[in-house]
Structure 1
Amino acid sequence: MNPDDPRARRSRARLRTAILELAADKDPAAITMSEVARHAGVNRATVYQHFPDIDALVTDAMDDAVAHVARAAALCPLDAPRDEAPPPLAELFQHVADHASLYRRMLGAHGSALFSARLRERLTAELGASFRQGRRPPGYDDVPVDTHAAYLAGALTGVIATWITDTTPAPPPETALAFWRLFRPQPPGE
Structure 2
Amino acid sequence: MPDTRHDPRAERSRAQLTDALRVLLRDRDPREISVSALCTEAGVSRPTFYQHFGDLDEVAVAGIEDRFRRIRAELPDCDGPEGSYRLLLAWLEELDAERATWQRTIGSGTAFSASRDAVESWLATQLARRVPGASAPVVRYAAAGFLGAVRAWLLQEDGPERPSAAELAESLVAVSARVLGGRS
TM-score, L = length of structure 1: 0.75
Q: 1:43 maps to what in 2?
A: 45
Unaligned runs of 5+ in 1: 79-85, 137-143, 186-190
Which of residues 148, 159, 167 in structure 2 aligns to 1:158? 148
- For the pair 1:77 / 2:67, whether they are aligned, the reply is no
Find out whether 1:176 has 2:175 as its counterpart.
no
Matched ranges for 1:3-152 at <5 A: 3=4, 4-67=6-69, 75=79, 77=81, 86-111=85-110, 112-132=112-132, 144-152=134-142
1:163 to partner: Cα distance: 0.4
- Flag the structure with more relative contact order, 1 or 2, with Cα contacts below 8 A and sequence separation at least 6: 1
Larger radius of gyration: 1
- How far is the alpha carbon of 1:2 from its aligned partner? 6.2
Contact 1:131 1:145 in 2 (8 A): no
Q: Any idea what the Cα deviations from partners look like across 1:61-114, whole Å, max 9, x if unmatched?
A: 121334568899x85728xxxxxxx44443332222112111111122222211
Residues 66 and 119, structure 1, Cα contact 8 Å, conserved in 2: no
Secondary structure of 2:143's match? helix
Contiguous gaps of at least 5 residues in structure 2: 179-184
TM-score with structure 2 length normalisation? Answer: 0.77
Aligned residues with identical type, % of pairs: 24
CA distance in 1: counterparts of 2:30 and 2:68, whole angstroms = 17
Q: 1:167 Cα deviation (Å)? A: 1.7
